[in-house]
Chains A and B, each alone.
Chain A
Amino acid sequence: MSEHTLDARRLLCPMPVIRTQNKVNELEKGDILTVTCTDPGVLNDIPAWCRINGHEVLNTSQEDDEIFITVKVC
């Protein structure tokens, strides 16, 4: 298991979802990915993408204008 980060700031949906998808596809089962975004749309879209593709959202948080979503690759 390894931890990874992805910078998707300034990108508007669906680009943060696409970047997350492409990164997850490179990772191994059990890896953890934290995505940093600025488009509030990701609060719906990344969890939805995780649900339909079988991955788990471990945590969602917000600090000022930045949103952090932590995904476990399943």
Chain B
Amino acid sequence: MSKQYKAAALISGGLDSLLAAKVMLEQGIHVEGINFFTGFCVEGHTAAIRKKQQDKPKRNNALWSAEQLGIKLHIVDIVEEYKDVLINPKHGYGANMNPCLDCKIFMVKKAKQWIEENDFDFIITGEVMGQRPMSQRKEVMPVVVDESGAGDLLLRPLCAKNLPKTKPEIEGWVDREKLLAFHGRNRKPQMALAKEFGFEDYASPAGGCCFLTDENYATKLVDLWQARSTRDYEMDDIMLLKVGRHLRPKPYFKLIVGREEGENKFMQGYTKMFTNIKTVSHAGPLTLIDGPADKEDLEYAAQIVARYSQGKNEEAVTLQISRVNEDPYEVTVKPLTADEVKQEWHV
């Protein structure tokens, strides 16, 4: 009996990685999925926080893909290691703060380590030549091969016929003739293949899976780095950038104002770590203060928070200010008017 070769598939939860894995399964390859969690993955987080979205059925598309394929999925936490990729990308950023090429190289490198540790034979990805402006251009596809260290153990089933032969093809582990030659940004071939395989309800084609490609999110991240004068972050920072309305009235502190009940509830978990402001006399949002605001700053912040409360048109609103490890105290302030909340404060 001939050996069954084993491939580790990078599964993002999108259509391309689903199809690439299926193409390999069709050739009798044993496939298991790897999904890397960078902390910036769109999967889950915001939907879990915001109450109004909780009524919608929520699924993790990487898990869904693995279930459709009937393969195991290993989710790997790379939050800490990923910092260096984001902060010091050798190949730079895309349109926003997305270090797509360095990210791809890093993930393939991690997959190479994984196959060595788990006795797998090669790696597959759902890359399609020319599909993505940064990481899937024809000229950078060999860069991923070289800089990841994967070499000829990296097979891209959806566009393999456009690329030099890899070891699995040379050695006959897979049949190159049954691989594909997809290229460019046209998604119709993928959709047709999905139909052929009977995949329905797959994640939005070409949909981004990373917050770093989102302009608003990237702006908040850069603002955070500028305010702290250091390009670093913790997991809690990443999470809080996804939540609330961010206003920076002074360079050294900002307000994170909950926009609805789900966000307020989520932010409640951070009240022991951040100075926070709650409305007392009227219904209103929970607000976290990020940065070294003094007593005067906090009173001003209270006026801003009051603007987002039910008492925004009243003469006086009472709020409770709680500093970390100090007794809370109350202040009564006049809410700022809409004009006084300056547009440039909004991050």
**B75 touching A48 by the CB < 8 A rule?**
no
**B77 touching A52 by the CB < 8 A rule?**
no
**B60 touching A44 by the CB < 8 A rule?**
yes
Which of these binds chain A: B37-45, B137-145, B215-223, B245-253?
Answer: B37-45
A4 partner residues in chain B, CB cutoff 8 A: none
Q: Is A62 an interface residue (CB 8 A)?
A: no
**A14 touching B48 by the CB < 8 A rule?**
no
A13 partner residues in chain B, CB cutoff 8 A: 43-45, 48, 60
Which of these binds chain A: B51-59, B96-104, B317-325?
Answer: B51-59
Which residue from chain A places its CB closest to the CB of B72 in the assembled complex? A53
How many positions in chain A have a CB within 8 Å of any CB in the partner chain?
20
Q: Which of B41, B59, B71 contacts A48 (CB 8 A)?
A: B59
**B67 touching A51 by the CB < 8 A rule?**
yes
Which residue from chain A places its CB closest to the CB of B62 in the assembled complex? A14
Q: Contacts A44-B59, A45-B63, A49-B63; is A14 near B44 (CB within 8 Å)?
A: yes
**B54 touching A40 by the CB < 8 A rule?**
yes
Q: Is A15 an interface residue (CB 8 A)?
A: yes
Q: Chain B, interface size: which category?
A: 20 to 34
Chain A residues numbered 8-47 whose CB sits less than 8 Å from any CB in chain B? 10, 12-15, 17-18, 21, 39-41, 44-45
A51 partner residues in chain B, CB cutoff 8 A: 67
Chain B residues numbered 236-289 whose CB sits less than 8 Å from any CB in chain A? 239, 265, 269
12 pairs, CB–CB < 8 Å, chain A vs chain B: A10-B269, A13-B43, A18-B37, A39-B48, A44-B58, A45-B44, A48-B64, A49-B63, A49-B75, A52-B67, A52-B73, A53-B73
- If A13-B44, A48-B60, A65-B265 are given as contacts, then 19 extra A-B residue pairs at C-beta distance below 8 Å, sorted by A number, are A12-B44, A12-B45, A12-B49, A13-B45, A13-B60, A14-B35, A14-B41, A18-B75, A21-B74, A39-B44, A40-B58, A41-B48, A41-B58, A44-B57, A44-B60, A45-B44, A48-B64, A48-B67, A52-B70
